[in-house]
Structure 1
Amino acid sequence: MFVIFGATGHVGHASAAALRRAGHEVRAVVRDATQADTLAAIGCEIALADLNDADSVARAIDGAHAVQWLCPVPREHADPAAAMRQIIDTGVAAFRAAAPPRLLALSDYGAEHADGTGITTLFHYLETQLRTVPAPLTLLRAAEHMQNWARVLPVALDRGVLPSLHDPLDKLFPTVAAQDVGELAAQLLVDGGPARATPRVVSIEGKERVSALDVARTLAELSERPVVAHQVPRDEWTAVLRGAGLGERHAQLIVDLYDAHNAGRIDVEANISERRFGATTLKQVLREQLSRVADAQTAAR
């Protein structure tokens, strides 16, 4: 039995689907049963779990051959960092009490840094705490997800301007499609790899690095509308993020993240030997996202 936390997200769903296609039993762990229909449709067993309750997490992993753990960022919480650390502590307590035979955690580029990287410091905390679990551990660090651009697509299409916190706009940065992360995670769960005393750290990004200018050009090509990249001035970042609905502390985590990103600190760790590259291109992801935007606009009419 493969247990997948965060199975309703892009990465978790891709992992669950890949495992089911290979004929494996999958238990999809969700927080809301109303979101489980697509997972049940592909043959997943559904488990409800409260991520702040160690007993609930322990029940979800009972009998697992391998566990994939994605710790969510509680975006609606007034203090998302504190809330995420609580979820991490709860999960680690459950894993230490009943260690699964194999454990894989989704992490981020830059997680090797203990501070100064905003929201990514939470993944450093996650990795540090998981190292105390007596189980073979794989840390899968992913670059920025291409799907994140979906948040600003409606604005870009409506105004012809793609807002970006990347500085400069022509700077190439690593990015990856969420489905490639999920499929690699499933592969690593199945393969396991050789037993080792230290965690296995694997990185994944797309085959080509891109810039904000590349994203704008691709959007313009696919939408057949003019789209230009716009570098949001540094002193406007907080106001823009707050205007997008982020709380004060969440906005600061993102500001700190992009300061680190623009300083070159959010990248693959220099000494990682296991580097993987996803096959999905930015163009493919943006085409899919534009189709979803069009469908949503049609449904709203």
Structure 2
Amino acid sequence: MFVIFGAAGNVGGTSAAALRRAGRPVRAVVRDETQGAPLAEIGCEIMISDLLDPPTVARAIKGARAVQILCPVPRAHADPASDMRRMIEVAADALRADPPQRVLALSDYGAEHASGTGITTLFHYLETQLQAVASQLTFLRAAEHMHNWARVLPIALSKGVLPSLHHPLDKLFPTVAARDVGLLAAELLLDEQPAKTSPHVVSIEARERVSAFDVARLVGELAHRTVVAREVPRGEWAATLHAAGLGEQHARLITDLYDAHNAGRIDVEAEVSERRFGATALAEVLAEIVARVAASASASASAAP
């Protein structure tokens, strides 16, 4: 049995579907029944679990040959770091008590750093806590997800300005499509050859690095309008993130992350075991997001009195 936590998400859903296409039994772990319906349609066993609830996590991994673990940053929590650390501890305790043959943890570029990288320090904590699990461990460290730009594309499309926390605007940085992360995760779980090291650290990013200027240009081309990139001044970051609905502590995790990004600390670790590259170009992902934002705006306009 292959157990996929976060199976309703972009990465987990892709992994679950790839494993089912390979004919493997999949237990898709989700938060509620509605999330499980599409996964049940492709033959997944559905398990409802709360990552903060040890009994449901233990039931989810029971009898597993391989487990793909994801601990999401809980956006709605007043102290998301504390909540995520608790999720990690619950997962690690369950895996230590009932270790499967393989564990693959979805992690981030920069997870080798113990401090000073905001949200990424939580993935360092995830990797550290899993070290004691008696399984073949793989840490799949992904670059910044391309879908993250969906947060600001409505602004870019309505105002023609793409706000960026990446400074300077011409700095190249790595990104990756969620589908490529999910496909690689499934491939690694299916690989029958034992890794030479445990943990086996694998990085993934797209073949081409991009800048905020590149993102603005691509969005403009897709939307058939002029879009310019704009550096959000460092002093405005917190207010901008608060306006986007993030609480104070979550906003601080983001600002610390981008400070580290802009200082060049978020990249492939020199000691990484294996580097892989996704096939999806940023333009493909942005095209999906632009179409979705445009459809939403059109629907809202049609519903207006």
1:190 alignment partner in structure 2: 190
In structure 1, C-alpha distance between the alignment counterparts of 2:243 and 2:297, rounded to whole Å: 22
Query: CA offsets, 1:47-78, max 9 Å, x none?
Result: 00121122211101111111000111111000
In structure 1, C-alpha distance between the alignment counterparts of 2:135 and 2:114, rounded to whole Å: 23
- Post-superposition offset of 1:37: 1.7
1:230 alignment partner in structure 2: 230
1:152 alignment partner in structure 2: 152
In structure 2, C-alpha distance between the alignment counterparts of 1:237 and 1:57, rounded to whole Å: 36
Correspondence list, 1:57-206, <5 A: 57-196=57-196, 198-206=198-206
**SS of equivalent residue, structure 1 residue 140:** strand
Segments of structure 2 that go 5 or more residues without pairing to the other structure are none
Large movers: runs of 4+ above 2 Å? 195-198, 294-301
Evaluate the alpha carbon distance shift between residue 196 and residue 240 of structure 1 in structure 2; reply closer, same or farther with a 3 A threshold: same
**SS of equivalent residue, structure 2 residue 210:** coil
- Post-superposition offset of 1:204: 0.2
Bigger shift: residues 276-285 or 35-44: 35-44
**SS of equivalent residue, structure 2 residue 52:** coil
**Percent identity (aligned):** 69
- Post-superposition offset of 1:155: 0.6
- Post-superposition offset of 1:296: 2.3
Contact 1:102–1:192, Cα closer than 8 Å, also in 2: no
Residue 284 of structure 1 aligns with an amino acid whose one-letter code is E
Evaluate the alpha carbon distance shift between residue 40 and residue 240 of structure 1 in structure 2; reply closer, same or farther with a 3 A threshold: same
In structure 1, C-alpha distance between the alignment counterparts of 2:224 and 2:29, rounded to whole Å: 40
**SS of equivalent residue, structure 1 residue 46:** strand
Residue 185 of structure 1 aligns with an amino acid whose one-letter code is A
1:276 alignment partner in structure 2: 276
TM-score normalised to the size of structure 2?
0.97
2:243 alignment partner in structure 1: 243
Query: CA offsets, 1:102-126, max 9 Å, x none?
Result: 1000000000000000010000000
Contact 1:67–1:104, Cα closer than 8 Å, also in 2: yes
In structure 2, C-alpha distance between the alignment counterparts of 1:168 and 1:197, rounded to whole Å: 38
Contact 1:92–1:129, Cα closer than 8 Å, also in 2: yes
2:253 alignment partner in structure 1: 253
- Post-superposition offset of 1:202: 0.3
- Post-superposition offset of 1:297: 2.7
- Post-superposition offset of 1:197: 5.4
**SS of equivalent residue, structure 2 residue 119:** helix
